[in-house]
């Protein structure tokens, strides 16, 4: 699960990463020396073939990474790990997940990014504690059918649908009643007026990420998404800023706005529409010192961030 943290003037999306504060094991030789201590297993590709033989020994495993290895199917045995909470299989060639995952009822985070899924694996419907799912980078995914399936996962509150090549957002997304954070980055062909209309029907949605979408303006329909607390517009260098100010002014609940790395050198002359924000992050842009001072003077109650890499 994730939440907004305001730290040192920057907006940080914080994720529970379970065992990542523990030691990271990458080989079976190391993991089998102290199997009861293994909580985080991030296997090197040649080691994956031994999963069926040894994984049952890791009775406290919480996070399993099998990434960037060109896998077409997952190895057997993963369902034996009842303690598993996070599964990351990003960057493979998967089209399905094994039914035995149903036994891993503590799974709450699954990353399926950059695979070859056409349909959402049916086993996900049986994971009652699933809260975070990344489906980004699966361009052949039938999104409408996937969202209809996800409607049955009642705890799902974080969803990544970036880089899917879609041009519209199915109205079925409204059925994700618990959704709080949605990533739609890297979908430049999206009909945003239609998408924002659908999202306006989701009262629990708090964070919307729209980075790298070649946005030129924000349509008026965004103002209907009244419940947003955080909006991310990073890496949209052609974005017309007057439309941003106008839309933000219509969203009194919005507290955090990110415009990082948008090739900005100035903001519009009048910034009153941004005055209700708590934080506006303008990092990795090219604002002259004089413009930085003007912005801060116009927004004295807003934490304006100008960090440069």
What does pLDDT average to in each consecutive run of 10 residues of the chain (309 residues)? 41 46 91 96 97 96 98 96 97 97 96 97 94 98 96 95 97 95 98 96 96 97 96 98 97 98 97 98 97 98 91
Q: Give the per-residue SS3 of 21-64.
A: HCCEECCHHHHCCCHHHCCEEECCHHHHHHHHHHHHHCCCCCEE
CATH class assigned to 18-156:
alpha beta
Fold of 202-309: 3.80.10
**Helix boundaries (H) for the chain:** 28-31, 51-54, 143-150, 192-199, 241-249, 289-298
Establish whether domains 18-156 and 202-309 are of one fold: yes
Listed by start position, the domains of the chain span: 18-156, 202-309
User: What local confidence, expressed as pLDDT, does residue 1 receive?
Assistant: 41
What is the C-alpha separation between 146 and 199, in angstroms, rounded?
Answer: 17
Q: pTM value?
A: 0.93
Residue 178 burial (CB count, 10 A)? 14
User: What local confidence, expressed as pLDDT, does residue 308 receive?
Assistant: 79
User: What local confidence, expressed as pLDDT, does residue 3 receive?
Assistant: 47
């Amino acid at each position: 699960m994730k939440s907004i943290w305001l730290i040192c003037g920057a907006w940080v999306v914080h994720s529970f990463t379970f065992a990542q504060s523990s030691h990271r094991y990458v080989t079976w030789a190391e993991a089998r020396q102290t199997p009861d201590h293994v909580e985080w297993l991030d296997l090197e590709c040649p080691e994956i073939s031994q999963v069926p033989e040894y994984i049952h020994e890791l009775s406290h495993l919480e996070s399993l990474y099998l990434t960037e290895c060109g896998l077409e199917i997952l190895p057997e045995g993963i369902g034996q790990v009842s303690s598993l909470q996070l599964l990351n299989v990003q960057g493979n060639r998967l089209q399905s997940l094994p039914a035995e995952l149903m036994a891993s009822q503590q799974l709450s985070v699954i990353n399926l990014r950059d695979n070859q899924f056409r349909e959402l694996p049916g086993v996900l419907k049986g994971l009652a504690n699933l809260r975070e799912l990344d489906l980004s980078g699966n361009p052949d995914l039938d999104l409408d059918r996937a969202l209809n399936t996800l409607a049955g996962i009642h705890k799902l509150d974080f969803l990544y649908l970036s880089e899917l090549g879609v041009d519209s957002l199915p109205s079925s997304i409204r059925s994700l009643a618990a959704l709080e954070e949605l990533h739609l980055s890297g979908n430049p062909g999206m009909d945003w007026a239609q998408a924002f209309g659908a999202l306006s029907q989701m009262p629990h949605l708090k964070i919307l990420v729209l980075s790298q979408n070649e946005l030129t303006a924000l349509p008026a329909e965004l103002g209907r998404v009244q419940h947003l607390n955080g909006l991310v517009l990073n890496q949209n260098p052609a974005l017309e800023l007057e439309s941003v100010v106008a839309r933000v002014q219509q969203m009194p609940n919005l507290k955090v706005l990110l415009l990082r790395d948008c090739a900005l050198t100035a903001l519009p002359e009048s910034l009153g529409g941004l005055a209700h924000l708590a934080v506006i992050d303008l990092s990795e842009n090219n604002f002259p010192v004089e413009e930085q001072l003007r912005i801060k003077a116009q927004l004295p109650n807003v934490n304006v961030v100008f960090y440069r890499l």
